[in-house]
Chain A
């Protein structure tokens, strides 16, 4: 009897193991998008779309989805809002198991290479999704490529700029927004003295340290030379500029949890005068008490470091198709529609996004001072290294940069530890010297 039981139990376990291991065969649909190109109106299916845009942006994308469905009555689109913070892991989980993954996903430009490297993204070259691809700006387009294949269609681009409260600066007697970090620090001190408003609040995410690092001629990596340069003297000097702002009280103490939200709330409530932020935040700023009069929001290029040069990273989002999607043709058409110049112009006008297509910068779009300012900021922006896992680099970067800004460790030691961690875990073939 005993033996019978254990044999049965074993059989049960084996059966379970077998079902768990046997993946399904995947889709049979032709992935070249021939049908979508030749007979778009004949394509039918359901496109599940994971949208990582924020709540303020949602209604505009809903509007676009409705228009798309009206144009293609046989295609049904399910727009699923997914929180930006959770989307990367959520997509990886679903993509790896093949269950519950969306057909189209909006990815941060930093995720594209990583997803593609793991085989989760459908190459889009030659499909209708990349319709009119000469029109896309070079910077955003570069983020959508991986090993010679295009795995994403740039949807919005962005960079960081200096956002300031015009009324407060005026009250403090500052006529022009600061052009260097030195001027920025001085301006913040004057503002605090004359108006009582705090100068700034830094966001302790690694991404937001890049303007300081770039300003000194530093960078995270030297991809060609296969070197980790985040702990170079130049980079450390840049980070020290940020640390000094916290130490001297120019910046309110960065909030270690939800640093971005703390910064954004303080700025739009008029509690701090200047912040470094991107175009995505403008709509949210207008909702705050300090910017009821939209004209009060000033936007300038990121301040320069001691080298006299200023630069900010290029961010943004791409549309990608999941490689296991069973509705690829419909997905291509959907992306084509969403990334078209007309759609981009609409989102630019309604929710202040920066288009990725040259032709979407119409006179009407650039008439808006915020878009005009950020379009200009883009001209000095530079893209982050395009390697798989660049998004993962920021996980460790955030942790170390937070500790540095808090004063738990010095800029030099903290960046050194970060470089070691990258080398040990993610960039084993890179040199750290």
Chain B
């Protein structure tokens, strides 16, 4: 009965992955890949180049890998940190009994329901230097216009803000679930023992959340690391080369100019490997913590 699973995995995961891996060992691009167009036949002339592509990327010869990796890591870390801390804060607020609690929950989940590209375009309009609402508000309070999407540094802050807005609801809901799973008695017992709110938070809430946190942080990291639409759509192409993350760069390789299939595939495999390594370490760390409890 494993057969269907194996077939589905092979078709959905194995073949594309294998094909990508294969391409990353060649110098295939749009011009030398074989094609049949009407009466026009071109045989494939791409060659096997072994590890050349990986060597170019990892040795820094290709030039853009390490700076981009640096920014991708900063981007991922700051987004996930903000997601988690804001999500936790909101979840704590909503976990208290109050009137209209379910309404607030629905409202706070809204951004999560907005498709990423819609969010990207909405924010892009708000960031517009001349006609955007943010600069209009700033002008009202007497602050000069900020070039939100122009300056490379401000650009980075801007996309982090968009992605934070987009990712917090998921964290909030997940953590809320985790909070509700912590037995009330634990808090009550701690209170009886005279623990301050901070002590209760540190010693009861956070440890109780650990299983949920571990999973959502791992998921959030992978998502954010590969968060293509926000970077690509909000910053655009011409001005945003310094704020590109690894996936948007890989996309550019594959879909701009004479398409570099091999280069893009190698980038894809490198990204996949980075995330795999991260996942393994993350899991290890979690299980060690669990063991120490």
Contact = CB atoms under 8 A, between A and B. Distances in A.
A119 B150 contact: no
B257 A9 contact: no
B110 interface: no
A61 to B, nearest CB: 26
Contact of A9 (B7, B35, B147, B235): B7
B229 interface: no
A17 interface: yes
B259 A92 contact: yes
Contacts of A403: 239, 241
Contacts of A6: 6
B149 interface: yes
A204 B238 CA distance: 8
A117, A118, A265, A392 — most chain B CB neighbours (10 Å): A118
A408 B152 contact: yes
Interface in B111-148: 124, 128-131, 147
A6, A16, A24 — most chain B CB neighbours (10 Å): A16
A204 B240 CA distance: 13
A96 interface: yes
Contacts, number: 129
Contact of B256 (A89, A204, A257, A324): A89
A96 B35 contact: yes
A27 B150 contact: no
A324 B37 contact: yes
Interface string A380-403: 000000000100100100110011
A262 B150 contact: no
A165 interface: no
Interface in A3-32: 5-6, 8-10, 12-13, 16-17, 23-27, 31
B80 to A, nearest CB: 26
Contacts of B150: 253, 255-257, 406
Nearest to A393: B257
A119 B45 CA distance: 15
Nearest to B151: A406
B36 A426 contact: no
Contacts of A325: 38
B153 to A, nearest CB: 11
Contacts of A120: 37
B11 A257 contact: no
Interface residues of B, number: 42
B6 A8 contact: yes
A145 interface: no
Interface string A308-352: 000000000000001111000000000000000000000000000
Nearest to A259: B238
Given A5-B3, A119-B40, A119-B42, A406 B258 contact: no
Given A13-B11, A13-B14, A256 B238 contact: yes
A224 interface: no
A12 B7 contact: yes
A159 interface: no
A114 B31 CA distance: 10
Contacts of A258: 236
B37, B129, B152, B257 — most chain A CB neighbours (10 Å): B37
B10 interface: yes
A270 to B, nearest CB: 13
B2 interface: yes
Contacts of A408: 152
A63 interface: no
A31 B11 contact: no
List the 3 closest A-B pairs by CB distance, nearest first. A256-B239, A392-B257, A257-B236
Given A257-B124, A323-B37, A323-B39, 4 more contacts: A5-B6, A9-B9, A256-B150, A402-B238
Interface of A: 5-6, 8-10, 12-13, 16-17, 23-27, 31, 89, 92-93, 95-96, 98, 114, 117-120, 122, 204-205, 252-253, 255-259, 262, 265-266, 322-325, 389, 392, 395, 398-399, 402-403, 406, 408, 425-426
20 contacts: A6-B6, A8-B6, A9-B9, A10-B10, A12-B11, A16-B11, A26-B38, A89-B256, A93-B255, A117-B31, A118-B35, A119-B42, A120-B37, A256-B236, A257-B124, A257-B150, A262-B130, A324-B37, A399-B237, A406-B239
Interface of B: 2-3, 6-7, 9-11, 14-15, 18, 30-31, 33, 35-40, 42, 124, 128-131, 147, 149-152, 235-241, 255-259
